[in-house]
């Protein structure tokens, strides 16, 4: 085999090996890219699963939080309803026990009962009156009642919204008094009545006491409440219980009934609903029916319209009788009496007298403290004045001593020897630095003239140090 063929074989083998290596590398790169893509896909799936799990967890937490808040709201609402119901019951019981309601009107009898009674009486008188005549009278009574109801315009229906409470009053319960607090209570009553009226006095008391943070009612608080009732509010009667109406709206102008804004949230009880509103609900029930039934048949539907689902109960009898008369346009009730019993006035007067004495005692104590403070300031001013006088006298004494001591000091200085000059050494014996010494007496007289003994002491010390530096005392002056 020639060298040429051998070389070609070697090159061919090398090229084949290189090509195989290249393919192996490309395959490895492809596998690596596929593995990377698979890893990214798995990572994306894991991230999506993580996000889905996080979203599910957040959704579950939000739902749990919503359920918790709903349960908390339900708990608070139940507590509020229970508190309000207990407060209403307490106010009603208290008003009945204290006798704070005005005199109850005489019991009224409906036209149907009067008719039935008259029919029964006449039947007893007649003895053998036919039943057909009594049935005819009952039919005429029903027709008359329905005619009266039909003559009334159809009432409007509005949701009942309690007044928004103002909790600022509970922060200062001392303002609930018969003097300066009447303005606060009067504005509070106006706000509640204008927002929630017509409202019966027990329910109004519930609102007022709740805002002030009180849980009970006594004679003094009730008297203060009655004193604060604004005179601009119209008042009607509900079996002896006053009903307060918004400003500009009277019982004769009312043709509306209110239903609960939330069907699951009863807001009123029968004893606190004005009779005019019950009558309007009866008229609305008549207009919604055929209009040929006895008036008693409209009462259950009227109570349902007001949100009272428990139906007619025996304790509603007297109020329903009056409401049925009002629905027919018959109103023979006496005007509401909101006068205050004399014994309440006496108790409140005693409380006011005690309050006045307490304020007078506080005022006397304040004036006493002011007088004590004024006396303290006067004594402090006298002390400062005496201190200034003492310092002035001390200054005068020092000045007087200085004036007395000056002539004596000048005389002592004058008795000392006068200043003499020292003889200079011969010119051939004078060094470059010549020291001239002065007489102490002359220097002392100069210092005395300046009036500074401390300067003289310093000068004498300096002169002595210079003498010591020269090797001894200076030569004595010649006569």
**Residue-wise pLDDT tens digits, 435-474:** 444 455 555 555 555 554 555 566 666 666 655 555 555 5
Q: How many C-beta atoms surround the C-beta of residue 126 within 10 A?
A: 10
Give the pLDDT confidence score for residue 329 in this predicted structure: 82
Give the pLDDT confidence score for residue 428 in this predicted structure: 47
pLDDT tens string 368-388: 999 999 999 999 999 999 999
CA atoms within 13 A on the CB side of 146: 17
Cα gap 100→223, rounded to integer Å = 9
Q: Average per-residue pLDDT in the chain?
A: 75
What pTM value is reported for the model?
Answer: 0.49
Give the pLDDT confidence score for residue 377 in this predicted structure: 93
Give the pLDDT confidence score for residue 382 in this predicted structure: 93
Give the pLDDT confidence score for residue 360 in this predicted structure: 87
Give the pLDDT confidence score for residue 117 in this predicted structure: 43
Give the pLDDT confidence score for residue 423 in this predicted structure: 47
With a cut of 50, which residues of the chain have pLDDT below it?
Answer: 100-123, 337, 339-341, 420-438, 452, 478-479
Query: Kindly report the CA angle at 36 between 31 and 42, in degrees rounded to 5?
Result: 125
Is the separation of the CB atoms in 138 and 132 below 8 Å?
A: no
Q: Kindly state the tokens that stand for 392.
A: 């002035």
Give the pLDDT confidence score for residue 134 in this predicted structure: 64
Query: Kindly report the CA angle at 360 between 355 and 361, in degrees rounded to 5?
Result: 95
Cα gap 117→392, rounded to integer Å = 113
For the chain, percent of residues with pLDDT exceeding 70:
68
Give the pLDDT confidence score for residue 465 in this predicted structure: 63
* SS3 letters across 364-388: HHHHHHHHHHHHHHHHHHHHHHHHH
CA atoms within 13 A on the CB side of 62: 6
Is the separation of the CB atoms in 207 and 165 below 8 Å?
A: yes
Give the pLDDT confidence score for residue 299 in this predicted structure: 86
C-alpha 284: how far from chain center? 43
> Strands of 235-238's sheet, edge to edge?
199-200, 241-244, 235-238
């Amino acid at each position: 085999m020639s060298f040429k063929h051998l070389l070609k074989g070697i090159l061919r083998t090398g090229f084949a090996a290189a090509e195989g290596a290249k393919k192996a590398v490309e395959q490895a790169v492809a596998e690596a890219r596929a593995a990377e893509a698979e890893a990214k896909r798995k990572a994306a799936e894991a991230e999506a699963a993580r996000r889905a799990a996080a979203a599910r967890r957040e959704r579950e937490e939000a739902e749990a939080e919503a359920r918790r808040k709903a349960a908390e709201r339900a708990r608070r609402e139940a507590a509020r309803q229970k508190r309000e119901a207990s407060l209403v019951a307490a106010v009603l019981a208290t008003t009945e026990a204290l006798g704070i309601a005005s005199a109850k009107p005489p019991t009224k009898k409906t036209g149907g009962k009067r008719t039935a009674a008259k029919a029964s009486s006449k039947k007893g008188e007649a003895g053998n009156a036919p039943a057909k005549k009594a049935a005819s009278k009952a039919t005429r009574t029903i027709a008359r009642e329905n005619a009266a109801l039909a003559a009334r315009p159809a009432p409007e229906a509005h949701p009942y919204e309690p007044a928004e409470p103002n909790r600022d009053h509970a922060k200062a319960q001392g303002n609930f008094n018969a003097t300066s607090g009447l303005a606060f209570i009067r504005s509070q009553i106006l706000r509640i009545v204008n927002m929630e009226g017509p409202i019966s006095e027990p329910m109004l008391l519930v609102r007022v006491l709740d805002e002030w943070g009180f849980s009970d009612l006594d004679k003094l608080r009730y008297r203060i409440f009655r004193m604060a009732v604004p005179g601009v509010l119209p008042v009607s009667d509900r079996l002896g219980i006053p009903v307060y109406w918004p400003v500009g709206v009277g019982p004769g102008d009312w043709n509306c009934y209110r239903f609960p804004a939330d069907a699951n949230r009863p807001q009123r009880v029968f004893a606190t609903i004005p009779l005019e509103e019950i009558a309007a609900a009866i008229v609305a029930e008549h207009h919604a029916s055929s209009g040929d039934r006895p008036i008693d048949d409209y009462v259950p539907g009227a109570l349902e319209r007001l949100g009272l689902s428990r139906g007619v109960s025996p304790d509603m009898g007297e109020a329903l009788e009056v409401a049925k008369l009002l629905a027919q346009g018959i109103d023979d009730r006496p005007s509401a009496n909101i006068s205050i019993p004399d014994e309440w006035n006496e108790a409140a007067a005693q409380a006011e007298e005690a309050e006045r004495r307490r304020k007078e005692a506080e005022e006397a104590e304040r004036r006493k403290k002011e007088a004590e403070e004024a006396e303290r300031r006067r004594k402090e001013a006298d002390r400062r004045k005496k201190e200034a006088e003492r310092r002035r006298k001390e200054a005068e004494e020092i000045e007087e001593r200085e004036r007395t001591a000056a002539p004596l000091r000048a005389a002592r200085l004058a008795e000392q020897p006068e200043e003499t000059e020292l003889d200079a050494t011969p010119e051939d014996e004078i060094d470059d630095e010549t020291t001239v010494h002065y007489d102490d007496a002359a220097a002392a007289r100069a210092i005395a003239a300046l009036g500074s003994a401390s300067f003289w002491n310093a000068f004498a010390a300096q002169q002595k140090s210079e003498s010591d530096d020269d090797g001894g005392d200076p030569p004595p002056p010649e006569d």
